[in-house]
Amino acid sequence: MSQKSLRTLFLWVIWTTSMLVVYLTLYQDFPIHELIASDTSHISILIIILFCFGFVASFVLTLLITLEAIAALRIEDAIRGNGLARLETSASKRLAYRFFAALKDTVDNNGRADVEALLNVELAPYHRISHSIEVIGNLLITLGLIGTVMGMTITLSGLGTSLDAIGGDQDQLLTGLRKAMSGMGTAFYTTLFGAVLGGILLRVYAQITDNGVDGLFDKLMRTCLIHCSADLQPSMDRDIRILESEIESLGKSLTRLQVAFHDTREAMQMFREEITELKTQSRQENEVLLKNILLQQQQSESLRNEARLLRRATQPWWRRLVMALGLVKPKS
């Protein structure tokens, strides 16, 4: 994997690490949480929430740009020396695959592809997200200025209360001074948060993502100009390459069809063998059954003969004498 595809992520991590180091250093000297809690205008909390939203958006966009850069690198390796004809289009959600799939469809339909316009359309969502991060940074600066105005208003109100209490109620005087100090803190720290979080941190994040999107644009454009230039120009060579690609696809389909026929033939052969084996088993079973029937008949005949002899042996002597003289025909 090339390090250039991870450049945007590296820059984002380096800037985030620097931000965390500065934050931890400032946290040891200034009670930031207490300052946010003491902000009666709640502008500081709103600034922090918007900053977190922009921070998460920049992180997600950085990951998407990194994944797109990796996909662009894989596509370049796939079409190097082969062109768009050998590119396997898939149902991937990556922008790079969608771009080259659309480009291939345009070429296959003998259309004239405007690579730059198509690439700008595909990268437009990333540009909008990056621009939104920059807008959030500008919004934080504006909120900081609004917090400054509100803090100064609170300060003036507190000073007015203190002036009214001079020579009178000391508690009211102290309350007005505390209100004035709280307003000054709100004015200063909302300005600080807006300027640092919006004017510095988010703008740098927006610049990192902008550079990442531009780098991805350059990478995809370079791949098209170097490895797909022959496919983008209408010519006889392009038609020949398309025809070769179709012939190759047809050959693969025929190969799959032959494999299917071979599998079907093997299945029919196995079925024929099973039928033959079943017929043989049935014939053998019939022969065994016939033998059993003949044996049963023989046994029945033998039993009848034995019964006849037994019946003759149990007759009276005079009956046997008459039968011996032939005067009476013996019963079967």
One DSSP character per residue, 20-40 reads: HHHHHHHHHHS-HHHHHHT-T
Q: How far apart are CA 130 and CA 208, in angstroms?
A: 9
One DSSP character per residue, 35-70 reads: HHHT-TT-HHHHHHHHHHHHHHHHHHHHHHHHHHHH
User: What pLDDT is stored for residue 94 in this prediction?
Assistant: 80
One DSSP character per residue, 247-285 reads: HHHHHHHHHHHHHHHHHHHHHHHHHHHHHHHHHHHHHHH
Residue partners of 117: CB distance under 8 A and separation at least 6: none
Q: What tens digit of pLDDT does each residue of 141-195 get?
A: 988 888 888 877 777 777 676 666 666 666 666 666 676 777 777 777 788 888 8
Query: Each residue of 30-42: b (16+ CB within 10 Å) or e?
Result: eebeebbeebebe
Which residues in the chain land under pLDDT 70?
1-3, 26-40, 81-92, 110-111, 159, 161-177, 179, 229-242, 245, 312-332
User: What pLDDT is stored for residue 55 in this prediction?
Assistant: 93
* pTM, rounded to two decimals: 0.64
User: What pLDDT is stored for residue 47 in this prediction?
Assistant: 87
User: What pLDDT is stored for residue 223 in this prediction?
Assistant: 82
Tell me which residue has tokens 């696809």. Answer: 249
Name the average pLDDT for the chain.
78
Q: What tens digit of pLDDT does each residue of 54-65 get?
A: 999 999 999 999
User: What pLDDT is stored for residue 331 in this prediction?
Assistant: 53
* Token duo for residue 194: 């807006």
User: What pLDDT is stored for residue 60 in this prediction?
Assistant: 93
